[in-house]
Amino acid sequence: FAALLEQDPAIGEILVSELDRQRTGIQLIASENQTSPAVLTALGSTLSNKYAEGYPGARYYGGCAEVDKAENLAIERAKELFGADHANVQPHSGASANQAVYGAFTKPGDTILAMSLDHGGHLTHGFKVSFSGKWFNAVHYGVNKDTEDIDYDQVEALAKEHRPKIILAGGSAIPRLIDFERFRAIADEVGAIFWVDAAHFIGLVAGQAIPSPVPHADVVSFTTHKVLRGPRGGAIVCKAEHASKIDRAVFPMMQGGPLMHAVAAKAVNFAECATQEYRDYAARVIANAAALADRLGTHGIRPITGGTDTHLSLHDLQGVGVTGIDAEKRCDAAGIVLNKNAIPFDPEKPNVASGIRVGSPSVTTQGMGTEQMEQIGDLIARAVTETDGTPEHPVAREIRDSIGELLTAFPAYPAP
C-alpha cells in the first residue's frame, strides 16, 4: 500500500482500514470470501489497461496476444473444472452473466419461471425493480410451507400452466441441495431452457462437495467471488449447442471490453479450485455451516428447513422476539458481520425481516472448524438476545474480546 498511501492518502487509508475491518470481525456474509494473494495480484495488474473486445483470436483491437493467452487459460480451466462443453469468462458480475443468459434465449415479453425473491431467489430472477422483472413476464415458484424447501409440484404446475421460455433454478438464500433432475424433467416436459444460477454454491461444485448442475442444465451462470473464492465477477458454462448464442449475448449484446485483469484472476482461481486443498476446503465449508446452523438452533434461532447442506443457513428469529434488522445491528456492534434476511412467509417487510443469513466461506478460509462454529453460534445468540446494538454495551464488549482471541488463532490475511 505504501505508494498509494503516499500519492493518495484519502483512498490509501480506506484500503488499509478495510483490510483492518476484514481482519478484526467475524465475517459471516454468505456471499463473501477472502480471495488469495495470487488472485489479488492478477486483479491489480496492468492487464487492466488492455482493451480486448471480442474473443481470443478474434479481437477488435491489436496487441491482444498476451490477454488471449490469459483468457484461453481461464476458458480451458473452467471447462475442465466443471466438465463443461463451453465457458464464457467475460461477464463483469453475476447480474451481467444473467443478463447475457436472458439475451441468449429470450426476447422482451417472454415468460420465465424462477424462484421468488422472498423465498430465496435473486433480484435478477424477474423481481419487479430489476430489468428482468421489467422486460419479462416473470412467474415465480416458492417453497413448501411445511418443508420450507422448493415446492417442486408447484414448479411443475406453473410450468404447465405458463409454458415459460426459461425455467430458472438457484438463488441467494437456499440452504438445501436443488433437485436438478426434477427441474430438467419439468423443463423437458414443457420445452423450456433449463438454466441454473449457481452463483452461491458453484464453489461447492468446483470442490466436488455437492452434485453439479452442469450435466443437467442447458446453461449455468455463476459469480466467481463467493464460495469459489475468486475475483469479483461472473462466468457462464453451457452445452456446446448454446455456445455461440451465449458468446454473442455477452459480447456485443450486453457488454463491451472485458476486464482482462479479472479474466486472468478467474484463471488463477480456477486452477486453485482444481486442487485437493480446495476440495478439502469445500467439504469443511459445509461441515462448518451445518455446525453453526445447529448451534444457533439450540439457542432458539431456528434454521429454516432444519439445517443446511451448503455453505449458508437462514434463521428465523421470531422465537427469540428480535427482528432481522435489530439482530444485524446488534451483531455488527459486537464484531460479527452478517445480514438480515427475509424468511419464507415473512410477516415483516424485507428491510426489517424476521431472519438472518449466515455463511461459512470466510471463516473456513481462515482455518476455523466446527468447534469455532459452535463458539460463534453462542456469541451470535448472546449478541442477538443480550445486547442493544451499541458498541458500548458490556456484553458487546465481552463478545468482541472473545472474537479477538478467536481471530488471533485464526487470522484473515495473516502477515507473512
Residues in contact with ligand PLP by CB under 6 A are: 31, 93-95, 98, 122, 124, 170-172, 197, 199-200, 223, 234
Catalytic residue among 53, 85, 110, 378: 53
Active site residue 386: no
Q: Is 18 annotated as a binding residue?
A: no
Binding site annotation covers 398?
no
Cβ-closest position to ligand PLP: 94
**In the complex, least distance from residue 251 CB atom to ligand PLP, rounded to whole angstroms:** 17
User: In the annotation, is 197 catalytic?
Assistant: yes
Between 120 and 377, CB nearer to ligand PLP: 120
Of 368, 370, 376, 351, nearest to 412 by C-alpha is: 368
Is position 117 annotated in a ligand binding site?
Answer: yes
Closest CA to 186 of 214, 154, 147: 154
Q: Closest CB to ligand PLP among 222 and 270? A: 222
Which residues lie below 8 Å from residue 171, measured CB to CB, with a gap of 6+?
115, 119, 120, 121, 122, 125, 197, 200
Which position among 50, 184, 226, 400 bears the catalytic label? Answer: 226
Residue (34 or 98) nearer to ligand PLP, CB: 98
Q: For residue 195, give the H/E element and its range.
A: strand 193-197
CB of 3 to ligand PLP, least distance (A): 29
Cβ nearer to ligand PLP, comparing 25 with 171: 171
Residue 226 bears catalytic tag: yes
- For the question of residue 223 being annotated catalytic, the response is yes
Q: How far is the CB of 65 from ligand PLP (least distance, A)?
A: 29
Report the nearest approach of ligand PLP to the CB of residue 339 (Å): 11
Closest contact distance (angstroms) between CB of 340 and ligand PLP is: 15
Tell me which amino acid residue 31 is: S
**Catalytically annotated residue among 23, 51, 332, 413:** 51
Annotated active-site residue 385? The verdict is no
Determine which one of 23, 79, 182, 232 is catalytic.
Answer: 232
Which CB atom, from 197 or from 294, has the smaller least distance to ligand PLP? 197
Number of other residues whose CB lies within 10 A of the CB of residue 319: 12
Catalytic residue among 71, 197, 218, 309: 197
121 has binding-site annotation? yes
8 A C-beta contact, residue 315 and residue 303: yes
257 annotated ligand-binding residue: no
Residue 31 sits at the vertex; the CA angle it makes with 360 and 244, to the nearest 5 degrees, is: 130
The alpha-helical segments, DSSP class H, found in 334-369 are: 361-365
Question: Strands across the sheet with 234-238, in order?
Answer: 86-88, 234-238, 219-223, 193-197, 166-169, 111-115, 137-141
Give yes or no for a contact between 59 and 66, defined as CB atoms under 8 angstroms apart: no
CA 370 vs CA 201, 243, 286, 312: distances in Å: 20, 42, 10, 14
Distance in Å, CB of 102 to ligand PLP, minimum: 12
By beta-carbon proximity to ligand PLP, the closer residue of 228 and 292 is 228
Distance (Å, rounded) from C-alpha 141 to C-alpha 83? 29
Report how far residue 282's alpha carbon sits from residue 201's, in angstroms, rounded to the nearest whole number.
Answer: 10
Binding-site residue set for (6S)-5,6,7,8-tetrahydrofolate: 117, 121-123, 241
**Which residues contribute to the annotated binding site?**
117, 121-123, 241
Please list the active-site residues: 51, 53, 197, 223, 226, 232
